[in-house]
């Protein structure tokens, strides 16, 4: 076997955590290698997650707009005709351009991409098995585990290609299902359910909990579910799936109330299982350096250290929200720690977004969390029905809610259900990062007419001086 190549840092996994860690390492002059077993860089997010789902969300929104919005706007183009093959092709083209972009950034920053599956074989040692079975060994002062996550299977429900599918399968269906059953009312289920509903599927969402969007502010969740129901989705809340029977003509699920009660059956031609994701640690060789996962399979960390010298962990495979942008922040922090700098991640300011139509976005605490913690707070709320740009654009569903400390006025949480919520939440993140008060946003001049004025008006509402509603 050839002599092991040596690096300052070896990163296992080429997703948003891994590739950003590799790029930052290159920027700081560290000799870095990134191991990725896929044929392309970018991990779940770029290949079968964030990016392809947004491509289909955008395309399906426009498809629906042609039928429902264009006539109102005085644009008469007739009924839209779906070319699903082309829709999938443009998605693939966009994803391909993005993954090639990561390759370019690796070359620009002198990062080496090692193609294959990485396994830790001891302190500072990583073995890589390539697709052809050949094995190479790498040595590194520091190893960063960034292996991400995979869809969580549902007990009693086996995946069957084209029938019972995960999120990856839902991004590549060859035809629009007549009836799509989505198990799980979280981000993935609601986004992909929205795509196929717009393209013509009947969509039923089955959720074990009593509200959609786990972790979402309850008032927002209620309005959000009401909006999706109005669009045509059907919800069966407080319901668990106990079995699935797959046949030629579809899938029959057995459902039971979560609180107990009589079982019922629900039949659809495709079932999307979207009950969450679990950390990916299979075959990583953790035992070779004495690392164990917790009961849920996550790797624990202290300032991204695993507790074993020179082994670090970032992204979905460790605790915190399973979000690409959280992994990116940890990627920068871990490399700065390794380089002797002051890395930092503020986990209280990681925003969440659901890219449905309208979108939902939030950062900081919910009303329920503040009440449970006994924190006295004030609330400002402003509806998009009173926002001039939203009115002109016929997108008035939803509202902005700002929660602030009752005494200091410090912003504690911002929750948005409405148009472009994912873009609007950035202002709240910046304000909160600087310890801003609701009055700070209220007294900053916002451009008119924009949706961002709804955030300003909600901030004004904290002190009861909303002027436009």
Active site residues: 448
Residue 227 near residue 397, CB atoms below 8 Å: yes
Distance CA 291, CA 308 (A): 7
Distance CA 291, CA 147 (A): 15
**Angle between helix 50-68 and helix 84-108 axes, rounded to 10 deg:** 140
Residue 122 near residue 137, CB atoms below 8 Å: no
Phi first, then psi: what are they for 248, rounded to 5°? -60, -35
CB atoms within 10 A of CB 292: 10
Distance CA 418, CA 139 (A): 50
CA dihedral 298, 304, 310, 315 (to 10 degrees): 60
Strand pairing partners for 145? 12, 313
Residue 202 C-beta-side C-alpha neighbours within 13 Å: 7
Helices and strands, counts by H and E, the chain = 13, 22
Burial of 151 (0-12, 13-18, 19+ CB in 10 A): buried
**Angle between helix 421-433 and helix 452-462 axes, rounded to 10 deg:** 50
Structure tokens at 168: 């990856």
State CA 151 to chain mean position distance. 13
**∠ CA(361), CA(401), CA(328), 5° rounding?**
30
Structure tokens at 423: 């873009």
Residue 94 CA: distances (Å) to CA of 53, 86, 102, 469: 11, 12, 13, 41
Distance CA 151, CA 278 (A): 6
Residue 120 near residue 281, CB atoms below 8 Å: no
Query: Dihedral sign, CA of 363, 369, 371, 375?
Result: negative
Distance CA 272, CA 219 (A): 27
Query: Dihedral sign, CA of 350, 420, 411, 217?
Result: negative
């Amino acid at each position: 076997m050839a002599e092991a190549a040596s690096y300052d840092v070896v990163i296992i996994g080429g997703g948003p955590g891994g590739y950003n860690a590799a790029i930052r390492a290159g920027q700081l002059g560290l000799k870095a290698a990134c191991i990725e077993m896929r044929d392309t860089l970018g991990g779940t997010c770029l290949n079968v997650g964030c990016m392809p789902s947004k491509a289909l969300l955008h395309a399906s929104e426009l498809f629906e707009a042609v039928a429902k919005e264009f006539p109102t706007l005085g644009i008469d183009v007739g009924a839209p005709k779906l070319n699903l093959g082309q829709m999938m092709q443009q998605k693939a083209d966009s994803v391909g351009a993005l993954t090639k972009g990561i390759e370019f950034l690796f070359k620009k920053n002198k990062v080496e991409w090692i193609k294959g599956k990485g396994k830790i074989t001891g302190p500072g040692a990583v073995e890589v098995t390539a697709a052809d079975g050949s094995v190479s060994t790498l040595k590194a002062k520091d190893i960063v585990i960034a292996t991400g996550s995979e869809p969580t299977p549902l007990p009693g429900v086996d995946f069957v290609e084209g029938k019972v599918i995960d999120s990856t399968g839902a991004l590549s269906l060859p035809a629009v299902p007549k009836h799509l059953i989505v198990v799980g009312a979280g981000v993935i289920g609601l986004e992909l359910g929205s795509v196929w509903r717009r393209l013509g599927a009947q969509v039923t969402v089955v959720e074990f909990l009593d509200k959609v969007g786990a972790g979402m502010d309850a008032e927002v969740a209620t309005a959000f579910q009401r909006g999706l129901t109005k669009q045509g989705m059907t919800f069966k809340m407080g319901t668990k799936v106990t079995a699935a029977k797959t046949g030629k003509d579809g899938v029959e699920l057995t459902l039971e109330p979560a609180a107990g009660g009589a079982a019922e059956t629900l039949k659809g031609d495709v079932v999307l299982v979207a009950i969450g994701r679990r950390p990916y640690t299979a075959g990583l060789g953790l035992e070779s350096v004495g690392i164990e996962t917790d009961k849920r399979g996550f790797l624990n960390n202290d300032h991204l250290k695993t507790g074993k010298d020179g082994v670090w962990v970032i992204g979905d495979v460790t605790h915190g929200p399973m979000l690409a942008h959280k992994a990116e922040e940890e990627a920068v922090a871990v490399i700065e720690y390794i380089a002797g700098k002051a890395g930092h991640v503020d986990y209280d300011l990681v925003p969440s977004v659901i890219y449905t139509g309208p979108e939902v976005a939030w950062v900081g605490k919910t009303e329920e969390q503040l009440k449970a913690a006994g924190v006295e707070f004030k609330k400002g709320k402003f509806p998009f029905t009173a926002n001039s740009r939203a009115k002109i654009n016929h997108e008035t569903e939803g509202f902005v809610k700002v929660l602030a400390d009752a005494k200091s006025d410090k912003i504690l949480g911002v929750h948005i259900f409405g148009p472009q919520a994912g873009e609007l939440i950035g202002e709240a993140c910046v304000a909160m990062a600087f310890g801003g008060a609701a009055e700070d946003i209220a007294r900053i001049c916002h451009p008119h007419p924009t949706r961002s004025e709804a955030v300003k008006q909600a901030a004004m509402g904290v002190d009861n001086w909303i002027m436009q509603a």
